[in-house]
Structure 1
């Protein structure tokens, strides 16, 4: 069960927090809020009602707290009581957490108010209690009752975290020069307070710097299987092995948050109406985002000639499930559904063993799980330990069949022993069945064999000795194994596994957090740690450049000239590196500009005509000829047998017209093709051809692709079904 949390953030809003210290472009308060917003939005993202937080403003212009009748608690404002924080609260707090016009307000008094809030909310219940104080320590501080505060923090098990703006921190390597005497004294008092109550004391700069380091989420494991690990059949043989075990996931893949669909509520015009949440419930504290969840309504229709529009609605209960087999829907009734169920019973049965050195790692199919003996079962622990040591000493793995729950499909898994000084277990990974294996044969990379079986040592596809040596040197120069530096400057691994994070996952979280607080500003750049390993270090590239140059020389690498593009309505033929005009060799009677295209060689001859055409009329004639040909292919196609040739002809025409910057010719032909397909003039049941054109992205040429193309709206309208 997830534990309950109660955290109170004390934010110093005094007038001194409006300064910009040590060359920062933002005020000290904005610098502080970077940390506060990150922690609050992380709590909101968890969606847990048991993760509660409260906000206390220190050195505010006003006063509002349960102890405000006493002068010592002036300029301390409870901005948010302890409870679940919602997005509406964040927007309100953003307007309230601003720099005040006063320096009055006692840090210790704010600490007492935070303790009072936690005691009032949590009482004697089991909570994880925490107070986070962020201040520049430049306000007044009364220390006469620190002893009672320390005692209370220890009694209620409240963890205190003090983060100071420009506080000295020897471990972080920061010391503020010319520090104000009052700040230095207050800083020392707060540090001693943290030491006495077992709290955490540090400088805010370090906390902000560490915001970019993703936090690995640890969750309480849930067993995926509880039962027996068997070898043989215990029900028939006394010599069979049966051990009570529990199986848990070792790792879980973190997934990116999915987007949801919302619409602006239509009743937002009346400001006096009760505010509702996205789920249609009453919003807490009268807050609202003005959005409503999109609700999908699904209807089922069948063809009925007597119904309007030829279709009528039917209830879901009147339908039967069909399974797709090729292009045919195979119906299986509910009464016959039990035939499709493979009846199994839960179990983990060992079916064989394999030598550790013979197992191929590419066979792993899933995330890792671990198997331990049943808790508080000494007999099972001893038996499983014996089995683990036997596998370890014999350098073997066990192959097992697992069924986690009744009637679940069986899986084959590999059990590997793991022995540590204080922990023993079996790690398992899913194995493929025969149907999961795909075997492909490729020609060897290190040798060339002729049709007659002769092996050739020297070939253009085989690397020379010089190239092999140059590439080997280049790989050695790009080695990252010892390129990094540890804290003492000694060589170490450049990319430790525990410091590499999924950029997409954590970048999305970063953007969501930022937009939650600042919806109208652009997202910040990605954290440096997310992009650090996306490219090799510049120093290493510079070091390996001579080795790369030797590889280029040995491989005789030449730069391919860019593809020329026509500037006056037609493309220029690229000049081959061999200076051999292949087009002239293949062309038939190149002097004839208006040659008829042979349907048997339509695409090649169309390209030849386009290449030789120097007038718009010749281009239009070639396109018209090709149009008539692929129209004929579609019209006389048996099923979809002719669609492939027609699609290739359309693709070639589209590419040629786009490169010649003449999209109008192609778009006119495609408009004609669409109208004929919809009208059935190219044969009945040819709607699949239009669908394939859309799927292959061969629709109209848009203006965003080539000047003179159609608008996005016209292209979308062309893709529409009717």
Structure 2
């Protein structure tokens, strides 16, 4: 949902002192996630119940509103929330025999409804408590409370696990009456901090046109009327996305401590030689109207006249033309390394005939175990690409949509991957081995056992050349809230595929920023910044896949081949590659000696 309001209701009773300190780590992480997105429709609300201080618009007893509902949340707001929670911990805990979490929950429901009225948005409250029977209400009145409480409940129980009779407790009965409610333990919630999550990218259509089979390339406009041409309306969506790290931007720091973005301005100038000894060159500004584009031709530049400018363009129209089919075992893997596109039947302008014909084409390619070589033009007058089309079967989502029946079939698609042109390939010279060693049967057997000990096939999911468990529908990863929860769908944890590696640098950079923010602004540590090592969840993705016998086999190979560690010289610069240790350079003779040697030789 595009709009949401999340309220954190924390029980601050005397028995919750240790648990609240742990939960604040998750709260800081969740708020930092929301601040990074910066959504203007993502409201955050923090409330304390059973607190020694009282401050709330409804004048509820022992209820303190730490942060009123507002959006978007900023880093300064997170600092303010953490400082107020720290101040609350320093107060003496309230020694009350009766909990007022229920009154605070009702007050939150009234406040949220009054603020947003009938606006269509997700309203949820995360309740953190260790008292499952702390609701001051009779079991018979819970249904009335549920009908008047327009909030999705998320219960965080501060214990190792829920009791077996949880359904008989007050909270268990209330969650059973509220659809969409969830329950987690505190340790499950804290585990989301270390969890690797993938943010699903909303599909954006980048291509729509016709998939043609048997078209006349000299007259593509008449393909629809050609009786020998098969035309299918299709559309394309990106299958891969370039992941880049967070980049720093230049900003201006004002006197009041605020930061303002700078605007980039491009200016052109020429450096001319000058006779002034104090200047290296003379700067001559060039107006924009005197700047034109030229083409490099050898050592010269050529400017085409406007009459010929349009002639250099190869006029093209969007489309996907199949040139032929090829067996799957005749396609080189290193040619399939570009970004991919999913090709499917057109969902907007397509008809039932397009769906049936496209599905028949995919099924026929799977049955024949063939790939297709196709000519691809993404949009009008764009470059022509030669691509490979691979058939793909995508299993239906576990989240059933109203349009899906009980027997939903796998969806058909084609994966488009750009093939390199002849000019893109590079030839390499692989020198032969200078020293030929005699065959060593024992060494070969040891190396084979070493490779088998690091075999990752057992951990990989069942593979098929036309389907993969790593490819899933977008619906299975859609979340209705930005709040990180333990049961969120995650490709990294639900698929144990050694080839599915997260962006290590991106996740580590995010962890470093969060750690810096915590040490610098929350703990107020100005004496330095210490960065923790790579998290275990990330290290496990890049660590060698070894078994119990792998170290012993590696040691035997090192002893047989006499592999030794080359120590770096002490005077070598850090990070520099040292090819070999050179002898000390001899002392350079004086100039007079060199001149005398030159006279003797002449």
With the shorter chain as reference, the TM-score category is: 0.7 to 0.9
Which residue does 1:604 correspond to in 2?
none
Confirm or deny that 1:250 pairs with 2:239: yes
Question: Counterparts of 1:129-140 in structure 2 under 5 Å?
Answer: 129-137=123-131
Q: Which runs of 5+ in 1 are unaligned?
A: 20-27, 176-183, 269-288, 449-458, 485-492, 567-573, 576-606, 614-618, 627-722
2 CA distance for matches of 1:119 and 1:8?
13
- Find the counterpart in structure 1 of residue 227 from structure 2: 238
SS in 2 for 1:369: strand
Change (3 A) 1:461 1:321: farther
Taking the aligned partners of 2:75 and 2:269, their CA distance within structure 1 comes to: 42
What CA deviation, in whole Å up to 9, does each residue of 1:79-134 have, x standing for no partner?
A: 22142211221121111123243425611122223322432344333323321122
Indicate how the Cα distance of structure 1 residues 385 and 533 shifts in structure 2: closer, same or farther if over 3 A, else same.
closer
Q: 196, 200, 215: which one pairs with 2:197?
A: 215
Q: Does structure 2 retain, via aligned residues, the 8 Å contact 1:54–1:83?
A: no
Check the 8 A contact 1:480/1:494 in 2, yes or no. no
Counterparts of 1:187 and 1:624, CA distance in 2? 103
Residue 310 (str. 1) matches residue 282 (str. 2): yes
Cross-structure match for 1:389: 363
Q: State yes or no: 1:165 paired with 2:158.
A: yes
Deviation per residue, 1:205-239 (Å, 9 max, x gap): 11112321121112321111112111214156222
Q: Structure 1 residues 497, 551: closer, same or farther in 2, change over 3 A?
A: closer
Change over 3 Å in CA distance of 1:188–1:253 after alignment to 2: farther
Q: 1:504 offset after TM fit, Å? A: 0.9
Structure 1 segment 37-436 matched on structure 2, within 5 A: 37-68=28-59, 72-77=60-65, 79-98=67-86, 99=89, 100-103=91-94, 104=96, 106-137=100-131, 141-144=135-138, 145-153=141-149, 156=150, 158-166=151-159, 168-169=161-162, 188-198=169-179, 199-231=181-213, 232-233=215-216, 234-235=223-224, 237-265=226-254, 267-268=255-256, 289-303=257-271, 310-324=282-296, 328-332=300-304, 337-375=309-347, 377-419=351-393, 421-436=409-424
Match of 2:398 in 1: none
Q: Residue 243 of structure 1: CA displacement?
A: 0.8
- The structure showing larger relative contact order (alpha-carbon pairs under 8 Å, at least 6 residues apart) is 2
Say if 2:143 and 2:177, in contact at 8 Å, map to a contact too. Answer: no
The question of whether the paired residues in 1 share the 8 Å contact of 2:66 and 2:84 is answered with no
Residue by residue over 1:472-496, the C-alpha shift from the partner in whole angstroms, topping out at 9 and shown as x without a partner, is: 1222233344489xxxxxxxx9963
Q: Secondary structure at the match of 1:506?
A: helix
Q: How does 1:484-633 map to 2 (within 5 A)?
A: 496-497=497-498, 500-519=501-520, 520-521=524-525, 522=529, 523-536=531-544, 540=547, 543-558=549-564, 611=585, 613=586, 619=587, 621=589
Root-mean-square deviation over aligned CA pairs: 3.7
Preserved CA contact (<8 Å) 1:502 1:530: no
Give the 3 Å change call, closer, same or farther, for CA 620–438 of structure 1 in structure 2.
closer
Cα distance in 2 for residues equivalent to 1:623 and 1:115: 92
Query: Offset at 1:348?
Result: 1.4
* Secondary structure of residue in 1 paired with 2:173: helix
SS in 2 for 1:532: helix
Does the CA-based 8 Å contact 2:207-2:237 persist in structure 1? Answer: yes
Separation in 2, partners of 1:624, 1:110? 96
| Alpha-carbon distance between aligned partners in 2 of 1:187 and 1:91, rounded to the nearest angstrom | 39
Q: Distance in 1 between matches of 2:568 and 2:378?
A: 58
Find the aligned partners of 1:469 and 1:549 in 2 and give their Cα distance.
14
Shift of 1:49: 1.7
Instruction: Output the CA distance in 1 between the equivalents of 2:177 and 2:590.
Output: 90
Residues 560, 365 of structure 1: CA spacing in aligned structure 2 closer, same or farther, 3 A cutoff? closer
Q: Distance in 2 between matches of 1:317 and 1:344?
A: 31
Q: Is the 8 A contact 2:56 2:63 kept in 1?
A: no
Q: Structure 1 pair 76/313, CA: closer, same or farther in 2 (3 Å)? A: same
Q: Which residue of 1 aligns with 2:598?
A: none
Residue 443 (structure 1) shift? 4.7
Larger Rg: 1
Kindly provide the CA deviation profile for residues 490-521 of structure 1, in whole angstroms up to 9, marking residues without a partner as x.
Answer: xxx99634874222111111222333444245
Residue 405 of structure 1, CA deviation: 1.3
Please say if 1:32 is aligned against 2:23. yes
Distance 1:186 1:391 in 2: 53
Instruction: Give CA-to-partner distance per residue, 1:554-595, whole Å, 9 cap, x none.
Output: 3243555765879xxxxxxx99xxxxxxxxxxxxxxxxxxxx
Check conservation: 1:131, 1:160, Cα contact below 8 A: yes
TM-score norm. by structure 2 comes to 0.75
Q: When the two structures are aligned, how many residues end up with a matched partner?
A: 512
Contact 2:9/2:46, CA 8 A, preserved across alignment? yes
- On the 8 A contact 1:349/1:402 being kept in 2, the answer is yes
Instruction: Report how far residue 528 of structure 1 moved.
Output: 1.1
Conserved? CA contact 1:481–1:494, under 8 Å? no
1:20-41 residue CA offsets vs partner (Å, 9 max, x unmatched): xxxxxxxx32211111111111
Q: 1:320–1:335: structure 2 CA closer, same or farther, 3 Å change rule?
A: farther
Q: TM-score, normalised by structure 1?
A: 0.63
What is the deviation of 1:312?
Answer: 2.4
Aligned partner of residue 317 in structure 2, secondary structure:
coil
CA contact (8 A) 2:132 2:169 kept: no
